[in-house]
Structure 1
Amino acid sequence: MQLGLVGLGKMGGNMRERLRNAGHTVVGYDRNPDVSDVASLVDLVDRLEAPRTVWVMVPAGAATHGVVQQLATLLKPGDTVVDGGNSRWTDDEKHAKQLGARGIGFVDAGVSGGVWGLKNGYALMVGGEKECVDRLKPVFDALKPEGPYGYVHAGRVGAGHFAKMVHNGIEYAMMQAYAEGWELLEKVDSVDNVREVFRSWQEGTVIRSWLLDLAVDALDDDEHLQKLRGYAEDSGEGRWTVEAAIDNAVPLPAITASLFARFASRQEDSPQMKMVAALRNQLGGPAVEGASLGGGGGGGGGAGDDGPGPLLMSAGARCSYNHEPTRAPAPEGT
């Protein structure tokens, strides 16, 4: 099959190679002339035979909007555009309407696999009309991993990117869980080989995963992660996942907490913790580091003899005014 591919970065370039290895003809365009097969989008479209398919792999937002707008003027009725980037599903609906007015089909494809996709294949979550999706099945089959899994026609336009968004939200939470476990293991004196503990989990445990394998690889490179700064960006899809949960009244406590943890990582001197420290000091708590804040009544505590008071107690402490201890949860079955 013949395919135009716009955007030849790490993923797009590897996808071009994987498709060519499977026998497909791929004409690639990128602003970097060193990797591009043609000089412009116009040249790319001219090189393709009708009905044309152009797969877009550029950053979500303005870059994708711009490419789709250009393709809308260059392609003809019966052609198809595939957005394989990390666009928001609501953008898919707009693009499908814009292209559909000109008789051009639109398919959204959530793509997962990163830099390993060339060798291992890409997981594909696809949205769009059945006719358009079915015509592209040879391309999807070439890109996905070997075997029966790794590809799904998730539903109508927007479903592919929505599924990929939820996938990335789950990824946020899984990363956060591994990170929290690692920090706790590093903190205690009794565990002196945290890296090998993580390695021992790679076989036979219920938490084994590709992310765990990558964590072990990272610890092999830098056993205590001393070369890294504790700062984590977010791609935007975690935010979209939480927003979709709010819109649909679906509780996502783990994914939401993992997103907020990334926000916290960007604060070298947390404004929120300044307020918490100030309140603890006012209530007669421990001394505040780096500042001397007055008040609080000293010694016994400004909130009375019970210390910090109900509003600032930890969840593991007492949780009711009659000071009855909370009941411990029953152990899980695994």
Structure 2
Amino acid sequence: MSDERTPPRRPQVFRLDEAAITMAPPEPVEPAFPLPVPAPEPRRSWGLSLAGLFWSALGGVLSLMAYVGLSQLITDLFARAEWLGYVGLAFTAALLAAAIAIVAREVAGMARLTKLDTIRASAEKALAEDDRALAETVVRDVLRLSAETPSLARARTDLEGHLTGIIDGADLVRLSERTLLAGLDSRARQMVSDAARNVSVVTAVSPRAAVDLAFVLYSAVTLMRRLAQLYGGRPGTLGTFKLVKHVLGHLAITGGMAAGDTLVQQIVGQGLAARLSARLGEGVVNGLLTARLGLAAIAVTRPLPFTALPAPRLADVAGGLLRKAEEDEAAASRRQ
């Protein structure tokens, strides 16, 4: 079989504008990197969700029912006796006044919790950008929050005297933290430590799991409310629900029980919980849970972030739980 090869083409010279020349279309070249796909346009919101429409309509219907029922009651009372009608009007007026006062208190409590978040976000921005004007606004807001705490009167006077002398915004925020919040942080740690110890003791001696759960929930919610009041929050009933949601959200973001904490490493790494009895082990775990909830409550109710002062750790507020449990276990073993 012969090897037939195409002879090489000789080079030729031609003009691009000749009529007999046909240019082939260029081959498509794939990009080295994929082109970005445009994000889908967000769905247009109509301003009111179905859930919002449902609750608004339900509130309107209940309000109309209450109005019709009260008006019918007053009419029936006047039909029976005139003095009964006036008594009904007096009770209705007292009921409306109490309802307005309760709503106003709940709105004020929600607003104060929101104010704490706003001040903390502004303080973080002032620290990051060293904004002097924003830092002064933050400090004045914190001063207004602490105006109802008599024990901080001297600290407020000292801080107000240094407002014009500090040039850097970040230094002003740190100075206000050291001056106003050092004492409050110490009291907050003590409150968390006491609550964790009480929960540990009660759940260790309680005979029923339902009692343990109820006491842990009650202690945790009460601790959150007390911490919010300490830092100037004073939440009402609805504000407490918002506070609990905020604390649980903070726990979800920061990793729950904080497995990197030295106290948790001590319990898990050395197997100390396994050496305790079942009831004492449950008490320790419940106490640690309460302490962790308290630390999260401090983080979400404190008006300033931890910068100049160290943030409390689990070992700072619950370090005595394990030591106390081991002592009780050793005493019980000696008695046996």
Is the structural similarity TM-score above 0.5? no
The interval holding the TM-score normalised by the smaller chain is under 0.3
TM-score by length of 1: 0.25
Looking at secondary structure, tell me which structure has more helix per residue: 2
| TM-score normalized by the length of structure 2 | 0.25
Q: Which has the higher contact order (CA 8 A, sep 6+)?
A: 2
